[in-house]
Amino acid sequence: MEETIKEIVDENQEYVINMGPQHPSTHGVLRLVVSLKGETVKNVEPHIGYVHRGIEKMCESITYPQIIHLTDRMDYLSAHINNEAVCLNVEKALEVDIPDRIKVIRTIMSELTRIQSHQLFWATFGMDLGGLTCFFYGLRDREKVLDIFEETCGSRMIVSYNCPGGLMYDIHPNFQKRVKDFINYFRKILPEYDQLLTGNVIFQERTRGIGRLSLEDAISYGVTGPAARASGFSCDVRKHEPYSAYDRVKFNEVLFNEGDTFHRYLARIEEMRESMNIIDQLIDNIPEGPFAVKMKPVIKLPEGEYYQRVETARGELGVYIISDGNKNPYRIKFRSPCFSNLSVLNLISKDFKIADLVAIGGSLDLVIPEIDR
Amino acid sequence: MDKVHLGDIIKSLDSDIEIKEGKQFTEINIPASNLYTLAKQLRENHETSFDFLICITGVDYGQDLGVVYHLRSIRHNHTIVLKTRISDRENPQLDSVADIWRTAEFHEREIFDLLGIKFTNHPDLRRFFLKRSYGFPLRKDFVDDINIVTK
Amino acid sequence: MGIKGMKKEEFRDNESLELLKESGSNVLLTTVNDVINWGRKNSLWPLTFATSCCGIEMMATGAPRHDFARFGMEVYRASPRQADVIVVAGTIVNKMAPVLKRLYDQMSEPKYVVAMGACAISGGPFFLNSYSVVKGVEHIIPVDVYVPGCPPRPEALLYGMIQLQRKIETESIKSRRRRNASHDVK
């Protein structure tokens, strides 16, 4: 017995532990089978499928407006942006002209969704590393965004606000005032986040230089979103292929070169600032007009294949629809950003300690139902 | 680079292909046996340099199975669609492109899991979402009376 | 005043809960029952178990606005041995079902289950045409309280937890074993 323990402790043997589906820090039901030598990680193997609901197969038996309610629940933190992807695809296929008012409102709601998702990322990332205060501060401020959603869309998180042809209902009369109040409030609070976590010496020791992802690896593994932009990969869909009202606003794409955990975290904080700038440019001049275009009662896409991509809070979401002329899609495929982001976890966590694995997994910002669909 | 010029370059790489203009992107139909060589050339050729694989989709066309690759070039900023068909439904096989684009590892595992297409030379082909002995749900003739509730 | 200040008479539904109270025991046993139940219901510690969207609403219930530490659910325990209640928040699929059953078996008595959200109650939006969703967590473990919604608001979850507290109040030392008889091995 003593010899066995001595062997393991002397880092001669590799042993395998299981960070099982139920774990406080894997952000959902992700199972990681980790091979360790001492405390150093040698191999990480993710096992997924613990929340695989078969959404792609289900979509083949429902109509296009009903798909909105399922894509909401795929990546629930960017629910509005997921719905926008499907709606834009359907509208592009039917060649419907969307009035300006709808585009501007969709953009404002998307940016609010992005802010709310990054707030939750900040709250849980701090909590994973041990700073429980971040959890309370982040969720306190996130409630203000959810109040805005509740007043206009009717629900806090799963908002089925988009539909093919426009929006479900018009915005509430209080919408502009509440959004402006929130932006003023949050601009003053964001430096507090920096004080609490970004400049903290323990946080910097735990995240600087950990989990480096190089630019070639990011392109080869298909990583997108803030995790890739922190390695220098310019992949923001809002800049390369603008949709909705993104072609009339000015904002910077947040790029860094180092590609470690600290810069993946910093990219999201800076993105929150850019989102607030975008909302500032749009909130005062929402054009007048209808909030929905009249569509046929039964939507049938012409035969063919259609691809649309949008920028969610985690990366590039692609919706690929193959239609054969019926009211149900023949095949629909969601190219989810977290699926490709997860594939890089094994590469970047080699030779770091197991406590760093938690930090790296948190910085990739994975939402497991989007991986499993 | 415009679509016609791109189509000509790709035709010069492999003459066995069929180029069609889809509504959005150029679509290339290629027989399954030539897929790997064309994919490798598409990545390494300087004028095309498709270094980003967006996604791989498996489709069941009724009679045969198909795989669709969406490729993008970061340098030149163009996108094409590569399609193949496999007529053998009992034992479908295709060459894996996982050593060209590393992201294909996960995508091909997912297609094997849901449609049953085996990829040769894949580093680790196992089922992803479902149990080892479950069928292939995304096929059009898949029936599961116990689990699926239909109206 | 909020939920905590509601009087017992104002919970007008679930009157059948009162019928569960055993009548006719002696004074000593009733007082001991009352003290034990008071201790149990005011310090229910939940297990960290969240599968999908309802998990975020459960986290929001622990956040400062709808704080549920004021009801005694102070800390989340990661280990099932130390937890009292498992709030099944999210969809359960066929691959996850044995894991859930194992977690429930590892919890020590007394243990309670709250099914939160439409997916845990009956499969929710994934009831039709899905090949891998378990149509309701009742197929796997016995459920005490159902909280409907997709996702339920934090106030709804708090209401569900208070109903669970009322249910615990009606327990007695003698009758607890019989309640779980349909699902337990003994």
Greater model confidence, C9 or C131:
C131
Contact residues, chain C, for B129 at CB < 8 Å = 95, 132
SS3 state at A289? coil
pLDDT over threshold 50, residue A56:
yes
Q: What is the mean pLDDT of residues A187-207?
A: 87
Greater model confidence, A63 or A26:
A63
pLDDT over threshold 50, residue A278:
yes
Local confidence band at C115 (pLDDT 50, 70, 90 cut-offs): very high
pLDDT over threshold 50, residue B100:
yes
Q: Chain A: nearest CA to C87, how far in angstroms?
A: 13
Q: How far is CA A283 from the centre of its chain?
A: 23
Contact residues, chain C, for A369 at CB < 8 Å = 51-53, 91
ipTM: 0.90
Q: What count of other Cβ atoms lies within 10 Å of the Cβ of residue B45? A: 14
CATH class label, C25-166: alpha beta
Contact residues, chain B, for C94 at CB < 8 Å = 131, 147
Q: What is the mean pLDDT of residues C154-162?
A: 89
Cα–Cα distances in Å, from A88 out to A105, A195, A287?
14, 40, 20
Local confidence band at C18 (pLDDT 50, 70, 90 cut-offs): low
DSSP assigned state of B58:
E
* Highest averaged pLDDT of the listed ranges B24-33, B139-148, C9-18, C149-158: C149-158
Number of domains in chain A: 1
Q: Tell me what the pLDDT averaged over chain C comes to.
A: 81
Can you give the pLDDT at residue A128? 87
Domain annotation covers residue B143: no
Can you give the pLDDT at residue C9? 67
SS3 state at B23? coil
Token pair, residue A292, equals 């929905």
pLDDT over threshold 50, residue C181:
no
pLDDT over threshold 80, residue B27:
yes
Q: What is the mean pLDDT of residues B18-28?
A: 81
pLDDT over threshold 80, residue B13:
no
pLDDT over threshold 90, residue A113:
yes
φ/ψ of residue A238, rounded to 5? -65, -20
Token pair, residue C162, equals 């208070």
Q: What is the mean pLDDT of residues C106-122?
A: 89
Q: Point out the residue among A29, A73, A140 whose CB comes nearest to the CB of C96.
A: A29
Can you give the pLDDT at residue C19? 61
Domain annotation covers residue B20: yes
Which range is least confidently modeled, A1-10, B72-81, C46-55, C78-87? A1-10
Cα–Cα distances in Å, from C73 out to A191, B81, C42, C54?
32, 54, 8, 18
Q: Chain B: nearest CA to A259, how far in angstroms?
A: 18
Question: CB–CB of A175/A291 below 8 Å?
Answer: no
Query: Residue C80's closest chain A neighbor by CA?
Result: A22
pLDDT tens across B31-46, in order?
A: 888 888 888 888 888 8
Partner B contacted by C127 (CB < 8 A): yes
Can you give the pLDDT at residue C2? 59
Give the separation between CA A24 and CA C50, rounded to whole angstroms: 9
pLDDT tens across A217-232, in order?
A: 888 898 999 999 999 8
Number of domains in chain B: 1
Give the separation between CA A355 and CA A106, rounded to whole angstroms: 40
Q: What is the mean pLDDT of residues A286-302?
A: 87
Q: Tell me what the pLDDT averaged over chain A comes to.
A: 88
Partner B contacted by A64 (CB < 8 A): no
Residue labelled with tokens 């003593």: A2
Q: Chain C: nearest CA to A113, how far in angstroms?
A: 14
Can you give the pLDDT at residue A111? 92
Domain boundaries, chain C: 25-166
Task: Supply the DSSP string of chain C, one letter for each residue.
Answer: -TTTT--GGG--S-THHHHTS--S--HHHHHHHHHHHHHHHTT--EE--B-SHHHHHHHHHSSSTT-SGGGT----BSSGGG-SEEEEES--BTTTHHHHHHHHHHSPSS-EEEEESHHHHH-GGGSSS-SSB-S-GGGTS--SEEE-SSSPPHHHHHHHHHHHHHHHHT--TTTHHHHTTTTS--
Partner C contacted by B130 (CB < 8 A): yes
pLDDT over threshold 60, residue A345:
yes
pLDDT tens across A133-161, in order?
A: 888 999 999 999 999 999 998 888 888 88
Can you give the pLDDT at residue C185? 47
Q: What is the mean pLDDT of residues C45-70?
A: 88
Domain containing residue B7: CATH number: 3.30.460.80
**Judging by beta carbons within 10 Å of its beta carbon (0-12, 13-18, 19+), is residue A68 exposed, middle or buried?**
buried
Percent of residues, chain A, with pLDDT higher than 90: 28
- Interface touch C129/A69, C-beta < 8 Å: no
Give the separation between CA A82 and CA C104, rounded to whole angstroms: 34
SS3 state at A139? helix
Domain annotation covers residue B105: no
What is the count of residue pairs from B and C with beta carbons less than 8 Å apart? 23
Task: Mutate one of A307, A334, A347, A372 to test the B interface: name it (highest B CB count within 10 A).
Answer: A307
Q: Point out the residue among B55, B105, B128 whose CB comes nearest to the CB of A335.
A: B55
Question: CB–CB of C37/C168 below 8 Å?
Answer: yes
Q: How far is CA A160 from the centre of its chain?
A: 17
Can you give the pLDDT at residue C186? 41
Local confidence band at A81 (pLDDT 50, 70, 90 cut-offs): very high
Percent of residues, chain C, with pLDDT higher than 90: 12
Give the separation between CA A243 and CA A260, rounded to whole angstroms: 30
Long-range contacts of A117-121 (CB under 8 A, 24+ apart): A117/A77, A117/A78, A117/A313, A117/A314, A118/A268, A118/A269, A118/A271, A118/A272, A118/A313, A119/A145, A119/A272, A120/A77, A120/C56, A121/A268, A121/A313, A121/A365
Determine if residue C149 is left, alpha or beta; phi over 0 gives left, psi from -120 to 50 gives alpha, anything else beta: left
pLDDT over threshold 60, residue A311:
yes
Can you give the pLDDT at residue C31? 82
Local confidence band at A199 (pLDDT 50, 70, 90 cut-offs): confident
Q: Point out the residue among A48, A307, A331 whose CB comes nearest to the CB of B70.
A: A307
Local confidence band at A181 (pLDDT 50, 70, 90 cut-offs): very high
Percent of residues, chain A, with pLDDT higher than 70: 97
Domain containing residue A282: CATH number: 1.10.645.10
Can you give the pLDDT at residue C162? 87
**Judging by beta carbons within 10 Å of its beta carbon (0-12, 13-18, 19+), is residue B144 exposed, middle or buried?**
exposed
Task: Supply the DSSP string of A169-234, one letter for each residue.
Answer: SPPPTTHHHHHHHHHHHHHHHHHHHIIIIIT-HHHHHHHTTSS---HHHHHHTT--SHHHHTTT--
Domain annotation covers residue B117: no
Contact residues, chain C, for B137 at CB < 8 Å = 131
State pTM to two decimals.
0.90
Whether the ω angle into residue A24 lies within 30 degrees of 0, i.e. cis, is no
Q: What is the mean pLDDT of residues A6-32?
A: 77
Q: What is the mean pLDDT of residues A285-301?
A: 87
SS3 state at B65? strand
Task: Mutate one of C45, C47, C48, C51 to test the A interface: name it (highest A CB count within 10 A).
Answer: C51
Can you give the pLDDT at residue C184? 52
Which range is least confidently modeled, A45-54, A142-151, A249-258, B11-20? B11-20
Kind of pairing, strands C112-116 and C85-89? Answer: parallel
Percent helix, strand, coil in chain B, to 5, is: 25, 25, 50
Vertex C23 angle, CA C22 and C25, to 5°: 100
Partner B contacted by A322 (CB < 8 A): yes
- Interface touch C130/B130, C-beta < 8 Å: no
- Interface touch A49/B128, C-beta < 8 Å: yes
Vertex A227 angle, CA A224 and A232, to 5°: 80
Partner C contacted by B146 (CB < 8 A): no
Biggest alpha carbon–alpha carbon distance for chain C: 56
